[in-house]
Structure 1
C-alpha cells in the first residue's frame, strides 16, 4: 500500500527565524572583545612568568624552565601561586577553581547560561597566577571561561531567552579559543561537540560569526601563522595507516590513565582534613617537585610542543616530559587550581608520539608526534572532530588529514568503551548532574500525527446534558467503556466543532449532581489543537506549553472538523519504533541458491 501523500510545505529542514540575524549581530562585538581578552590573558601570563622566574618586567610568553633557576624558586613559586589562588577562590568566587570548560558547561546546562560578573575578572587573574608561577596548564580553559563570562554578562543585560544567552556565552568562549590558537574551525567544532548541545542554525551561525571576527582580530594582535609550523614532506605508506591505529590505541590508554589520575587526585584531596582553600598550595608543591626533575614540564610549554612537532627534542627529555608532565598536571589539577587542559594534553600527546617515532618507520618530521597529539586529545576530551581539526590548524599540516583521522577516531572509540565520561564531564557528574553528548534525530520529528492518532472519536451533541452523556458513555469504572477517551469534541447538529469537554470535567459534574447541565457549558476555554500533517514533536511541544495530555486533531482546511485525537500513549509509539530499530536484529537480504533440476 503506497504511503499517503501529505502537504508538508509548512515544514522545513531547519527551524531558523529572522531573530538569528539579531543574535549574530550581538555575537560580533562579543567575538571582538574575546579576542582582546585572549591577548590580555597571554600578556598577563607572560608578565607573571617574567616577574617570578626572571625578576624582570615583560609580557612576552616565556618558559619557566628555559634557563636554570634556583631550586628553591622552582619548588616554592608554584606553592605561593597555589596559596594566592586558594585565597581568591575562598574570598572571591569558588567558580574560578578548575580548568574552565566543566564550569562553562555547568553554567549552560544548569544555570540558564548565567555567569557571575566576578568570575569574568577573577578567572583570568587566577589562571595568570597559576600558569605564571609554573603551573603545567594551558591558557585556553580560562580564556574559554572568561570569554563565556563576557558573552553571558552581555546577554544578561538584554531581553533574551536562555537559549539565546547560551549562544552568546558559547560565542564568547569559542571566540577566545580561536584567538588563542588561530584555530577557528576547531573552535567551532568544539562548540558543536561539547558546548552547544545542538546542531541548529540559530546557534551555529552566531558562534561562527564570533569565531571569525576573533580570528581576524587575532592576526594583528598575535600573528596569522600556524602556532606550531612544520616543514618537510610526508612519505605515507599503507603500513603507516595501520600504525596510526596502533598509535590511537596507545593514545586512548594514556588518556584513560591521565583522566583516572585527575579524579583519583581529586578524591584524595577531598579526604584531607583541611579546608579546600589550601589544596592548590599542596598541588603547587607537587608541581614544584616535578619541576626540579624536569623544569621544561612547567608552564604552558608551547616551546616544548613546538620541539616535539618539528622533531628537535631529545629522547631523554621527551620521556621525562611524558612522565612528569602527566603526573604534575593530573595531580595538581585535582587540587582545584586554575588552568586549562588543552596545552598539557598537546604536550603529553606529542611526547607519546615522539617516543613512537623511535619505534615506527620515519614518515616525516614530527609526524608521529602530531598523530599522538590528536589521539590523546580525542581520547581525553572525546571530541574527535575537534582533535583532528585542531592538529591540522595548529600545524597547517593538511597532508596528514587521513592519518590524523584514523589515529584520533581509534583513540576516541577505545576511550568511550573504557570510560563512561571524559575529564570534562566527570566533574559535572560528581556534582550530581548528567549530560549526554550523543546527537541523533528525534524520532518524534520523523512521524506525523496522522500516523499514530486515534481515529475512533466519540463526539457529544451540544444539546446533550451530563446525565444523558453518562448513560451514553457507560460505566466510568469499566475500562472498556467510552470513558477511556480523554477529550470529547462537542459539535452542533451540523457537525461543527464548538469546543471540547474533558473527561474529568464530565465526571466531576456527574458526581456533583449536575445531571441537567448541558455539556456545552463544560467546554474548555483554551481550545488547543493540532493537525494530522504536523510532526509528533510539534504535538509534544504543544502539550508541554499548554499543560495538556491530549490534543484534538482537526482538518487543516476545515478546522471545525475533528479527525482524531492524540495523547501521550500515541507519542510513545515513535519512541518504541526508535528502540526497535536500535534493538531488533534482522537479516534483510538472503542468498538463494538455485540447483539444477533433478538434484
Structure 2
C-alpha cells in the first residue's frame, strides 16, 4: 500500500490558500462596514446620553455639562448591558479577544449568530454611555464572528474557520485604527496560532481590503498625527530602556488588578448581571473628576501625544482612567482594551518626560504607549509597528523596538499569563504563545531509516521465530526484519508482536502475521510520516528510495528525534576556553581537568 507522497518544501501550501483568500476579501470588506457602523452607533449613544440629541456626529463625553448627573449615563448603560448579557448572550461580557480565542480553542472556531448580533449593540451602549473602553475589541469580536459565520456557511474545516475568524478580527482592527500591518502582526502574534502562508495571506488580504474601504470612506492619514522626529537625541534611547521597564511594571499591575477586581465581584451576593451597574458607579465618579477618562478617548490620546495637556491634567487622567478601567472591566461589562492601554501608557510616558524635562515629551508618550501595550498583550512586533501606523512617526522606530522588547521580556518573565490569556486559563483551558518549527519538520525520514540485525524469512512459521526469540542467549532486538526468498527486505515485526501471534495461531507463517505493508518515500519530512502513521494507526512503515525498499521506521524512532532536541535544549557545555582563564567546577578542579 502506497502512503502519502507529497514532497517536502519550505511551506505546506495548496489550493486551500486560494479559497481562503477569496473568502477573506469578503470578510475584510464586511469588517470595514461593521467598524464604521459601530463607531457611528457609539457616537449616536454618546450624543443621546450626554447631550440629549439625535446625531451620528463624532462627539466625546469630555465636553458634557451634566455635572454630578454624569453618574447617570454609565449606570443606565450598564443596566442595559446586564440585561442583554443575561437574556441575550453571556458571551458579550468582556473585551472580546479572549472570547474569540475561546471560540477557536473549544468550539471549532464556531461563533453563535446571536453573539455577532448582540456584541456590537452592547459595545455601542457601553462605550457611548461613558465606558472607558475602546471600540476595537468589540469590532474585532464582531468581525471575527462574521468570518466564523461565513466559514460555517461554506464547506470548511475547523482550521479554515479559524483563519477566517482571525481574518475578520484583523479586518476589524485595521478598519478601526487604519493600521493594516499592525492588524496582521497582532493576528499572527496572538490569535491564529501559526505562521503559514495559508493563514498569513488571507489575513493580510482581509486587513488590506478593510483599510482601503476605510480610507475611501473616512479619508487617508494617521488617526493620531504628530510632528515627525527626524533625529532622536541620545536621551531618547535611554528613555526607551527605562520606559520599557516602567511600562511593563505598569502592565503587570494592571493585569493583576483587573483579575483581582474580577475576583472581588465574584464574591458579591448579587447576580452577575448587576455587576456592570456597580462598576458604572465608579465610572460616573471618575467622569466627574476627569471627564476625559470617559468613552473611547481617541481625542485625548491625540492630545497626550502632542503634549497639549498640563502635567496636572495628565496625572489625574492617568490615575482616574486606570482605576475606572480596572473596575469596569472587572465587573464584566462590554468594551475593548487597546485604546485604554494606549491612553494609560501615553499618560505615563508623557508624565515621566515632563518630570525629567525631556526635550520631546511626545516621544516619551509614544514610547509609554508601546511599553504598556507590549507588556499587557506580549505582542512585541505589533507594539513596534502599531504606534508608527497610528502616528506616522517613522523616526521613532528604533526606540520603539528597544522599548517593546524590554517590556515584553519583563512582563513574560514576571507573569505567566497576560490580560488576554488569563481569562482563558481561568476557564480551564491552556494555550501557548510560543511559535517554533517542529523538529520533525526539519528532517527527512531517510535520515532515521533503520534495518535490523536479525533477519527472518517471511515463509518461516511464526512458532519457530517465537521459539528463536525465547531461547536466544542474547538480548533480541525490538524489531525483527522479514526478507523474501531472495533475501530482499519486505517488512518488519516487533518481537512482542511475534510472540503474541505465535500464541494465537502458531501454524501461520510470519509473513501472514505481519499485516499490511505501507510504503512511503524517503524524501518526506519525518513530521508528515508520523502524522500519516497516527491517522492510519500504524506501528511502522516501509521506506522506499526510488521505488526500492531501504528499510523501515517505527513511531518510537520518529519520536526519538524529539528526545534529541530536548537534549540540545537542556544540555550545556563549554566548547572552548581562554588559555589564561579556566573556570572551576565546584571542587576546585578546572573544566579541562574534568
Aligned to 1:3: none
Counterpart CA distance in 1 for 2:85 and 2:190 is 26
Find out whether 1:61 has 2:58 as its counterpart: yes
Find out whether 1:575 has 2:562 as its counterpart: yes
Q: 1:365 offset after TM fit, Å?
A: 6.0
Counterpart CA distance in 2 for 1:205 and 1:444 is 25
Q: 1:308 aligns with which of 304, 308, 331?
A: 304
Q: 1:263 to 1:547 in 2, by over 3 A?
A: same
Q: 1:592 offset after TM fit, Å?
A: 4.1
Q: 2:554 aligns with which of 559, 566, 587?
A: 566
Find out whether 1:34 has 2:25 as its counterpart: no
Q: 1:455 aligns with which of 451, 454, 463?
A: 451
Can you give the 5+ residue segments of structure 1 that lack an aligned partner in the other structure?
Answer: 1-7, 595-599
Q: 1:511 offset after TM fit, Å?
A: 2.1
| 1:214-249: CA deviation from partner (whole Å, max 9, x where unpaired) | 110001222211000012545522232112111111
Q: What TM-score, normalized by structure 1, do the two folds share?
A: 0.92
Q: 1:428 offset after TM fit, Å?
A: 0.4
Counterpart CA distance in 1 for 2:204 and 2:153 is 22
Counterpart CA distance in 1 for 2:296 and 2:421 is 23
Counterpart CA distance in 1 for 2:502 and 2:568 is 46
Q: 1:489 to 1:580 in 2, by over 3 A?
A: closer
Q: Is the 8 A contact 1:301 1:347 kept in 2?
A: yes
| 1:186-208: CA deviation from partner (whole Å, max 9, x where unpaired) | 00100110011111001000111
Counterpart CA distance in 1 for 2:483 and 2:577 is 54
Counterpart CA distance in 2 for 1:456 and 1:523 is 15
| 1:83-106: CA deviation from partner (whole Å, max 9, x where unpaired) | 111111111111111100011111
Q: 1:481 offset after TM fit, Å?
A: 2.7
Aligned to 2:574: 587
Aligned to 1:136: 132
Aligned to 1:544: 534
Matched position secondary structure for 1:17: coil
Q: 1:468 aligns with which of 464, 477, 483?
A: 464
Q: 1:317 offset after TM fit, Å?
A: 1.3
**Range with bigger deviation, 24-33 or 492-501:** 492-501
Find out whether 1:269 has 2:265 as its counterpart: yes
Cα root mean square deviation, aligned: 2.2
Aligned to 1:518: 509
Matched position secondary structure for 1:115: coil
| Superposition pairs of residues 377-388 of structure 1, within 5 angstroms | 377-388=373-384
Counterpart CA distance in 2 for 1:288 and 1:429 is 31
| Superposition pairs of residues 51-450 of structure 1, within 5 angstroms | 51-72=48-69, 74-231=70-227, 233=229, 235-364=231-360, 366-450=362-446
Q: 1:291 offset after TM fit, Å?
A: 1.3
Q: Is the 8 A contact 1:499 1:524 kept in 2?
A: no
Q: Is the 8 A contact 1:150 1:172 kept in 2?
A: yes
Q: Is the 8 A contact 1:374 1:387 kept in 2?
A: yes
Aligned to 2:41: 44
Q: 1:501 offset after TM fit, Å?
A: 5.3
Q: Is the 8 A contact 1:552 1:562 kept in 2?
A: no
Matched position secondary structure for 1:407: helix
Q: 1:96 to 1:475 in 2, by over 3 A?
A: farther
Q: What TM-score, normalized by structure 2, do the two folds share?
A: 0.92
Matched position secondary structure for 1:15: coil
| 1:158-211: CA deviation from partner (whole Å, max 9, x where unpaired) | 111111111111111100110010000000100110011111001000111111
Counterpart CA distance in 2 for 1:387 and 1:213 is 22
Q: 1:535 offset after TM fit, Å?
A: 2.6
Q: 2:486 aligns with which of 494, 517, 532?
A: 494
Q: 1:350 offset after TM fit, Å?
A: 0.7
Aligned to 1:533: 523
Q: 1:248 to 1:505 in 2, by over 3 A?
A: closer
Aligned length: 577
Counterpart CA distance in 2 for 1:228 and 1:479 is 78
Matched position secondary structure for 1:332: helix
Matched position secondary structure for 2:389: helix
Q: Is the 8 A contact 2:132 2:283 kept in 1?
A: yes
| 1:40-66: CA deviation from partner (whole Å, max 9, x where unpaired) | 000011111111111101112311122
Q: 1:336 to 1:529 in 2, by over 3 A?
A: farther
